[in-house]
Amino acid sequence: MVGVMKPCHGGNAVVIGGGYIGMECAAALVANEIKVTMVFPGKHCMGRLFTPKIAEFYEKYYAAKGVVFVKGTAVKSLEVSDGKVAAAILRDGRRLPADMVVVGIGARANTGLFDGQLAMERGGIKVNGRMQTSDAAVYAVGDVAAFPVALLGGDVRRFEHVDCARRTARRAIEAILEPSGGAAEEGKAFGYLPYFYSRVFALSWQFYGDNAGEAVHFGDFSPPVAGGKPKFGACWVSGGRVAGAFIEGGSPEENEAMASAVRSRAAIADLAAELGSRGLGFADEESRRKGVRRGALAAGDRPTYARHATVGVAAAVSIAAFAYWYGWMAPYVVKRDFSDPKL
DSSP letter string, 242-311:
EEEEEEES--HHHHHHHHHHHHTT-B-S-HIIIIIITTHHHHHHHHHHTTPPTTPPPTT----HHHHHHH
pLDDT, one tens digit per residue, over 77-120 is 999 999 999 999 999 999 999 999 999 998 899 999 999 999 99
Angstrom distance (rounded) from CA 19 to CA 159: 14
Closest to 172 in 3D by CA, of 144, 194, 197, 151: 144
* Residue 119 backbone phi and psi in degrees, to 5: -70, 140
- Residues in contact with 190: Cβ distance below 8 Å, sequence separation at least 6, in sequence order: 129, 131, 147, 148, 149, 150, 168, 171
Q: What integer best gives the mean pLDDT of the chain?
A: 84
H helix or E strand, kind and range, residue 71: strand 68-71
Pick the closest to residue 27 from 15, 43, 11 (CA basis).
15
User: What's the rounded mean pLDDT across residues 298-312?
Assistant: 42
At residue 4, the 3 state secondary structure works out as helix
Spatial distance between the Cα atoms of 37 and 48, rounded to a whole number of angstroms: 20
pLDDT value at 314 more than 70: no
Residue limits of CATH 3.30.390.30 in the chain? 195-290
3-state secondary structure of 121: strand
Tens of pLDDT, residues 226-274? 778 899 999 999 999 999 999 999 999 999 999 999 999 988 876 556 6
CA 45 vs CA 18, 35, 39, 55, 81: distances in Å: 5, 18, 10, 6, 30
**Structural contact between residues 133 and 126, judged by C-beta atoms closer than 8 angstroms:** yes
120-185 adopts what CATH topology? Answer: FAD/NAD(P)-binding domain (3.50.50)
Query: Which pLDDT tens digit goes with each residue over 149-195?
Result: 999 999 999 999 999 999 999 999 999 998 776 555 667 899 999 99
Give me the CATH code for the 195-290 domain, please: 3.30.390.30
In tens, the pLDDT along 184-230 reads 566 789 999 999 999 999 999 999 999 999 999 999 999 888 778 89
CA 235 to each of CA 146, 177, 193, 286: distance values in angstroms, whole numbers, following the listed order: 25, 38, 15, 14
CATH 3.50.50.60 range(s) for the chain read: 12-103, 120-185
12-103: CATH topology is FAD/NAD(P)-binding domain (3.50.50)
Half-sphere exposure of 102 (CA within 13 A, CB side): 28
pTM above 0.85, yes or no: no
57 versus 268: the higher-pLDDT residue is 57
